[in-house]
Amino acid sequence: MARFSEKPQLLALTNDVIIPASTPTGGPALGGGAVPPGNDIRLTVGQLLAMIGDGAGGTPATRVGSLAKWNAAKARGSANPARLAIVGDSNVAGYGSGAGTGGLEGAVSTSLARRLLTKKGMRFASFFGDQNAASTPVSLPAYDPRITLGTGWAPDGTDSQIYGGRFIKGTATPSGRLRFSPSGSVTRFRVWYPTLGGLNQQVGVYIDGTLVDTINQDAPASLASKEYNVTAGTHYIEFGATGTGDSFVGGVETFDGTATPVGLVGGYSGARAADLAMSTEPWQHDPMLRALKPDFTVVICTINDTTATTDPGAWYASMEKVVKGAALTSDGCLCVGFVPNNNAALGSIYGYDNKMLALRSLAADYGWHFFDLRLAVGHSWQRQNDRGFTYDNLHPNALGAEAIAEALHAFLPL
């Protein structure tokens, strides 16, 4: 908790800011009069920042949006818990926050997304794709130890552009199984997969080693999901195939029978706004995000369009497409992200200052929040690096991921 001192000066920002109902030292209350004791003015950090800017020239670095959909979702209870989607690039996936080559080993647990969900007390026991971050330079199981790839299973060799990067693919008739072993108690699994003519007609679904269903993926192009209820406890789910043709798994959600909100992490290493807006196929990122029907959506994606000098008009159109689709069911927050070590990020038409203004306007049009994450880490790569937040020229390290997650946690009253 933070307070104004009697000066009054803002000492620190955490979750709430309180302006005490007392006369400042040296004279009457600002504007004359006084606030009666016991009637302190309480603001969230987001509300305060939205009024005063970022303290450096009054730049409008934040915007407080609606929480109506999110609050309604939390009221649904245990039968249908609220769900928070975190959309973005390699920084959402956790590149640089873990161990080993690329900072990717175990990064599913050290990413800024995981940190934010932990701070919010939300459930993190689902996966989507390979986050497009786990074929090179590390394996998917090294990135996410909850996943085991049996013989014949691997991230799709093509960029399938789904929510979470790429499908996990079983080639022809794989002799092994794809396994997902979430931590904690599970009462329900929800499986996401595509259908398309020529795919495998006999994709087996196994829970704790027992076959519980066979899915026919040989059907007109679609994105589909199925649910499986289990007795509360620790469980794992597997996929195998005995027919001919390739088989694909897009992701698995799990629920624990409580009203605890569920996190859906859609990191996508290398993603640009156009990738997030891709909708040529029904399973690609934009239609899949809509199908997931999140109740709150955080979007962090600015690095790759900046370094690629994407046309600002095209970038904005893609971002608006993503927000428009998600906003059908979801409140949300748009974020300017980590600053790359690239001059295009500073002062050019592709730069972060212009993206900040554009994203804030977009957030206003759809009633969403906006937060400039540079407030947490620095407005240039050099400043981020001086503060010990960089892993390389594009990604935060564990300290940077923690700083970003903490800032978002303080800003968003979810």
The per-residue pLDDT for range 121-150, each reduced to its tens digit, is 999 999 999 998 765 567 899 999 999 999
What's the confidence (pLDDT) of residue 37?
Answer: 53
Average pLDDT over residues 362-388: 96
For the chain, give the mean pLDDT. 87
Report domain 53-125+262-414's class: alpha beta
User: What residue segments make up the domains of the chain, in order of their start?
Assistant: 2-43, 53-125+262-414, 135-255
What's the confidence (pLDDT) of residue 174?
Answer: 87
Q: Quickly state the pLDDT bin for 347 (edges 50, 70, 90).
A: confident
What's the confidence (pLDDT) of residue 134?
Answer: 63
pTM of the model: 0.86
What's the confidence (pLDDT) of residue 34?
Answer: 47
Average pLDDT over residues 64-68: 95
Mind listing the pLDDT tens digit for each residue in 135-188?
556 789 999 999 999 999 999 987 779 999 999 999 988 899 999 999 999 999
Distance separating alpha carbons of residues 121 and 258, to the nearest angstrom:
13
Quote helix, strand, coil % in the chain, to nearest 5. Answer: 25, 25, 45
Least confident window among 27-31, 73-77, 235-239, 406-410: 27-31
Task: Write the CATH number of the domain with boundaries 135-255.
Answer: 2.60.120.260
Is residue 279 classed exposed, middle or buried when 0-12, 13-18 and 19+ CB atoms within 10 A define those classes?
middle
The residue with tokens 């939390």 is 74
Please report which helix (H) or strand (E) contains residue 70, including its range: helix 68-74
Residue 281 CB contacts under 8 Å (≥ 6 apart), including other chains? 194, 221, 287
Give yes or no for residue 11 having a pLDDT over 80. Answer: no
* Cβ pair 369, 363 in contact under 8 A: yes
Please report which helix (H) or strand (E) contains residue 46, including its range: helix 45-52
Provide, rounded to the nearest whole percent, the portion of the chain with pLDDT above 70.
Answer: 85
The residue with tokens 């020239």 is 57
Output Rg (C-alpha) for the chain, integer angstroms: 23
Give yes or no for residue 44 having a pLDDT over 90. Answer: no
- Among 313, 287, 414, 298, CA closest to 363: 298
Give yes or no for residue 19 having a pLDDT over 90. Answer: no
What's the confidence (pLDDT) of residue 204?
Answer: 97
- Among 298, 37, 31, 108, CA closest to 19: 37
Please report which helix (H) or strand (E) contains residue 377, including its range: helix 374-377
Q: Quickly state the pLDDT bin for 3 (edges 50, 70, 90).
A: very low
Mind listing the pLDDT tens digit for each residue in 192-213?
999 999 999 999 999 999 999 9
What's the confidence (pLDDT) of residue 41?
Answer: 52
CB-side neighbour CA atoms (13 Å) of 109: 12
Give yes or no for residue 13 having a pLDDT over 60. Answer: no
Give yes or no for residue 16 having a pLDDT over 50. Answer: no
Distance separating alpha carbons of residues 326 and 324, to the nearest angstrom:
6
Q: Quickly state the pLDDT bin for 387 (edges 50, 70, 90).
A: very high
What's the confidence (pLDDT) of residue 160?
Answer: 76
Distance separating alpha carbons of residues 399 and 210, to the nearest angstrom:
42
Cα–Cα–Cα angle for 59, 267, 178, rounded to 5 degrees:
170
Average pLDDT over residues 52-63: 54
- Among 382, 298, 376, CA closest to 113: 298
Provide, rounded to the nearest whole percent, the portion of the chain with pLDDT above 90.
Answer: 79
